[in-house]
Structure 1
Amino acid sequence: MARQTPHRAQEPSEAPRERASDSEREDVAAMLARAMVAGRLTPVEYSDRAAIAQAARYRDQLDGLLSDLPGFVLHSSHGADVLDLEAGLGGSISRRGYWKVPPTVRVHSWVGGVLLDFSEAECATAVVAVELATGMCTPTVVVPEGASVDVDDLRISAGSVRDETVHQRERGDLHVSVRGRHSFGDVVLRHPVRGRWERLRALPAEAPRRVLSRRRPGRQAGPEAPPPDRSGR
């Protein structure tokens, strides 16, 4: 008779480690930089941790770099990390006003308008990656005042980048990294356009009076002279 082996309860398998994304690595690097500016890290500690963050493959490695820094937490990746925006041929993509922005926004559009306005958006991370797969259009990225943007990993053919943003030495509270490929058209980076009344309020108080009081050169104020008498009298 065959001897029965005792049944062993299967041990629960460990949960698989979560892979880190490029935007998460950049987000941690930005938080480390802010921690150094605040005096929580020395320049050497920042340099060492930033190098580890850039080479990290898993999220727990990134969490360990922030564990002793109060107030610095990597956002949970549970849920949507990527927003895919796709337009049909000739369609358009527009995001403005309040909208929630995940770490990565992917844009697919051909022969259609593309507008991504981050000025009133709620961003899950301090660094947002915008990945373009666009052509024959003019993608426009609007960032708030004080934010920064780069196109280091963007490849363009038959077009150019029109960067109208204010450049600054340090990264802003929000940094948008525009990547991917674009062809046949420009990519526009700018800040929000102020309305007409906002522009008027920004003018000096006497400026409107100058505009209203301008007259043609050599012409004096007062009643107009009567027309010349052409009867010969």
Structure 2
Amino acid sequence: MTSPREHASPLLTEPDRETAVQRLQEAYAEERISREEMDEGLGHVLTAKTRSELESALASLPDEPPGATATIAAAGGRIVRRGMWRVPRNLTVASAFGRVHLDLSRAVFEHPVVDIELQVGTGRARITVPRDAVVDVEDLHTGWKDLRYRPGRGSRSGGPTIRITGTMGFGRLKIRHARR
């Protein structure tokens, strides 16, 4: 039997709240919501105590334009994303030569499913996912070295699903769950 604590929504952090406020303001600036809808949403966001309350406050926002995909690309060198950053629904990461490090442990997920397409020629890639994330790597093709990934123990429901696809050429991809 599971305890009530396991199903409790995590408490909000100030960066989570700030990102939600920014998202409402952007929707208003892009004329996807009215001034009244923004004011009502801000009221809910500013009084929310848990992530589930925050998500329900943002649920009425219209979807972002379909096909919106962010791309991070470099011919050589490093690609690094860490800290508080907003993860788009579709993310393409392309690196011909170099290292890739995506730290999603403190990232803000606005979508329950995120698709990350890797196009890495030569070099290593490391992805740190949230503790409660579910990772799908079935459509990832590795060339020279095998993937290093051990699914998290007892992954809790409520975390994002991260689907990693694409190709790793002559390098290794290491995926791990955050410890905190």
TM-score calculated relative to the size of structure 1? 0.48
Residue of structure 2 equivalent to 1:84:
71
Q: CA deviation at 1:104?
A: 0.7
Q: CA deviation at 1:150?
A: 1.4
* Alpha-carbon spacing, 1:192–1:182, altered in 2? closer, same or farther (3 Å): same
SS in 2 for 1:152: coil
Report if aligned partners of 1:132, 1:180 keep a CA contact under 8 Å in 2. Answer: yes
Structure 2: any 5+ residue segments left out of the alignment?
1-55
Equivalent residues in 2 for 1:144-163, closer than 5 Å: 144-163=130-149
- Which amino acid in 1 is paired with 2:159? D
* Among candidates 126, 129, 133, match of residue 115 of structure 2: 129
Aligned partners of 1:117, 1:102: CA distance in 2, in Å?
14
Radius of gyration: which is bigger?
A: 1
Equivalent residues in 2 for 1:119-198, closer than 5 Å: 119-168=105-154, 172-192=158-178
Q: CA deviation at 1:81?
A: 2.5
Structure 1: any 5+ residue segments left out of the alignment?
1-70, 195-233
Q: CA deviation at 1:192?
A: 2.9
* Alpha-carbon spacing, 1:108–1:148, altered in 2? closer, same or farther (3 Å): same
* Alpha-carbon spacing, 1:75–1:146, altered in 2? closer, same or farther (3 Å): farther
Cα shift readout 1:98-157 (whole Å, capped 9, x = no counterpart): 111110110110221101111111122011111011121111111111111110111111
Report % sequence identity: 33
Moved more, 111-120 or 78-87: 78-87
Q: Please give the root-mean-square deviation of Cα atoms over the aligned residues, in Å.
A: 2.4
After TM superposition, the runs of 4+ consecutive aligned structure 1 residues lying more than 4 A away are 71-75, 167-172
* Alpha-carbon spacing, 1:85–1:124, altered in 2? closer, same or farther (3 Å): same
Comparing both chains, which one has the higher relative contact order based on Cα–Cα distances under 8 Å and sequence gaps of 6 or more?
A: 2
SS in 2 for 1:125: coil
Residue of structure 2 equivalent to 1:103:
89
Aligned partners of 2:112, 2:143: CA distance in 1, in Å?
29
* Count of residues in Structure 1 that have an aligned counterpart in Structure 2: 123
Q: CA deviation at 1:94?
A: 0.4
Report if aligned partners of 1:118, 1:144 keep a CA contact under 8 Å in 2. Answer: yes
* Alpha-carbon spacing, 1:97–1:91, altered in 2? closer, same or farther (3 Å): same
Equivalent residues in 2 for 1:3-14, closer than 5 Å: none
Q: CA deviation at 1:79?
A: 8.0
Cα shift readout 1:51-105 (whole Å, capped 9, x = no counterpart): xxxxxxxxxxxxxxxxxxxx566861238821100012x2210000011111011
Q: CA deviation at 1:172?
A: 4.9
Aligned partners of 1:168, 1:147: CA distance in 2, in Å?
11
Report if aligned partners of 1:75, 1:125 keep a CA contact under 8 Å in 2. Answer: no
